[in-house]
């Protein structure tokens, strides 16, 4: 998968600008408004922009662009431009990708700036600002997508997002052309479905990176919700009339420049990670059946097979205890697929495992990790049925768009962990897939 990117400016800090939905980095440089906005950003940073997969100059989609895939692409862009640490600047639904990246890779994130951020894509009782399921379905209907890139559709958008240009036909026509050159109707439908599935609310508390949340008055409640759940986050409210980020030259940009100038490098003490625990089912009975020598030989073969799959899916072995494994992953989709691959390969040895996964904030203790998230993962594994991969609701929310299917296992009490936890079993027929 080829991802198109561009670099401009020579400032002391790297700033990655990730805007919502679709774009085209070449057309953006030609547009007087978008180009001027990026020039202002490049005036105080080394500005990095890229077209998300399926849009602009990047390759078209071959599979759903999950959040995990998108942060992999962002990491690849940072590697390509030799950026060790960057400030991430995300708008609207693109903010969710920046949030997840900052929590997962704090060592590569200097700061986090969010403009009208979206943490959940669809309405929920405790998240009433998001569009309803019915509204989301209408947005991806054939009728709605049939007008993508038309003057009439752009005119409607401008009257909402760029009020100052509502009577400027050249501005409206340029916006329609920008859309046509940014994504096809099919790509937009895929992006909007992914936006509807977003839910990174459980990630917010794990972000320990300096964060600036900027919002328009209309998005005040949603932005305040996000800022309140990120430790130490600052919030700044703009005034209108224009909602489009690239029209905020004299309001947003000075605040963003001030924020970037205050940032200092700090080594992370925590990280968002997915923990996997596995355990051989009925191991005591198997030991009694085989005897000590043959059992040790079988366990060693089990270790070798598990480590092969961990290498395939970018897992990191943390510990082994008897016949169990404890491993970590930087993405929950890879972790689930690894768990299923382990289960399948061990069946060839006549062994069956149970596995449990949870994604949460973990403390970094040398090359080990610790914290309540680790305990939760172990307790979930203990709840799993033989042959089953069981996950927390946090994992389920973060793998939206992956094609993985779940069966509800209800709410459970996990020993030593407060509250009741909603657990889900991953259907094995949706768990296979190639490693990333």
Tell me: pLDDT of 430 over 90.
no
C-alpha span between 25 and 353 (Å, rounded): 48
> Predicted confidence band at 429 (pLDDT cuts at 50, 70, 90)?
low
Please tell me the distance from the alpha carbon of residue 422 to that of residue 417, in angstroms, as a whole number: 13
Measured between alpha carbons, how far is 92 from 54 in angstroms, rounded to an integer?
18
Residue 436 located in a structural domain: no
User: Is residue 208 domain-shared with residue 309, that is, in the same domain?
Assistant: no
The enclosing domain of 113 has a CATH number of 3.40.50.1820
Same-domain check for residues 179 and 301 = no
User: Within this chain, do residues 280 and 204 fall inside the same structural domain, yes or no?
Assistant: no
| Confidence label for 431 from pLDDT (cuts 50, 70 and 90) | very low
Same domain as 228, residue 206: yes
The pTM (predicted TM-score) of the whole model is: 0.93
**Whether residue 359 sits in one domain with residue 254:** no
Q: Would you say residue 168 has pLDDT above 90? A: yes
CATH number of the domain bearing residue 286: 3.30.70.1230
Q: Same structural domain for residues 145 and 79?
A: yes
Q: Give the pLDDT confidence score for residue 435 in this predicted structure.
A: 52
Q: Which residues form the domain of 337? A: 270-430
In this structure, the answer to whether residues 213 and 312 fall within a common structural domain is no
Q: How far is CA 396 from the centre of its chain?
A: 12
Contact (Cβ atoms closer than 8 angstroms) between residue 161 and residue 243 = yes
In sequence order, the 6+-apart residues with CB closer than 8 A to the CB of 436 are: 68, 69, 72, 313, 314, 331, 333, 334
Where does a domain end: 262, 296, 322?
Answer: 262
How many structural domains compose the chain?
2
pLDDT tens by residue, 243-273: 999 999 999 999 999 999 999 999 999 999 9
Residues in the chain: 436
Q: Does residue 433 carry a pLDDT above 70? A: no
Per DSSP bridges, beta strands 14-18 and 5-8 are unpaired
pLDDT beyond 50 at 300 = yes
């Amino acid at each position: 998968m080829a991802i198109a990117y561009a670099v401009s400016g020579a400032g002391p800090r790297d700033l990655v600008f990730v805007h919502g939905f679709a774009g085209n980095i070449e057309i953006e440089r030609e547009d007087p408004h978008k180009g001027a906005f990026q020039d202002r950003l490049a005036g105080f940073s080394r500005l990095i922009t890229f077209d998300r997969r399926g849009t602009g100059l990047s390759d078209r989609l071959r599979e759903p662009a999950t959040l995990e895939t998108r942060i992999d692409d962002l990491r690849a862009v940072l590697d390509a431009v030799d950026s060790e640490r960057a400030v991430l600047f995300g708008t609207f639904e693109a903010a969710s990708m920046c949030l997840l990246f900052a929590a997962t890779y704090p060592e590569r994130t200097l700061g986090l700036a969010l403009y009208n951020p979206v943490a959940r894509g669809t309405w929920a009782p405790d998240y009433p600002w998001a569009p309803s399921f019915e509204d989301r379905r209408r947005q991806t209907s054939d009728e709605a997508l049939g007008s993508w890139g038309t003057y009439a559709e752009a005119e409607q958008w401008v009257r909402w997002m760029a009020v100052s240009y509502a009577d400027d036909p050249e501005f409206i026509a340029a916006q329609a052309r920008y859309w046509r050159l940014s994504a096809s109707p099919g790509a937009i439908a895929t992006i909007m479905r992914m936006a509807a599935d977003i839910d990174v609310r459980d990630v917010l508390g794990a972000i320990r990176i300096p964060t600036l949340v900027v919002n328009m008055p209309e998005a005040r409640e949603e932005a305040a919700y996000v800022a309140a759940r990120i430790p130490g986050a600052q919030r700044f409210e703009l005034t209108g009339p224009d909602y489009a980020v690239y029209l905020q030259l004299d309001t947003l940009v000075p605040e963003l420049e001030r924020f970037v100038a205050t940032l200092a490098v700090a080594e992370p003490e925590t990280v968002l990670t997915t923990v996997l625990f596995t355990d051989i089912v009925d191991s005591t009975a198997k030991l009694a059946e085989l005897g000590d020598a043959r059992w040790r030989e079988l366990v060693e073969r089990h270790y070798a097979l598990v480590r092969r799959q961990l290498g395939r899916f970018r897992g990191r072995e943390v510990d082994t205890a008897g016949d169990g494994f404890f491993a970590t992953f930087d993405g929950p989709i890879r972790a689930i697929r690894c768990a299923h691959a382990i289960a399948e390969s061990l069946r060839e040895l006549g062994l069956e495992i149970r596995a449990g996964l949870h994604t949460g904030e973990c403390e970094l203790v040398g090359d080990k990790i610790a914290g309540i998230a680790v305990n939760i993962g172990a307790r979930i594994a203990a709840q799993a049925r033989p042959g089953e991969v069981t996950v927390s609701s946090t994992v389920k929310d973060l793998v939206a768009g992956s094609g993985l299917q779940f069966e509800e296992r209800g709410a459970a009490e996990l020993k030593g962990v407060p509250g009741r936890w909603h657990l889900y079993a991953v259907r094995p027929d949706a768990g296979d897939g190639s490693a990333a």
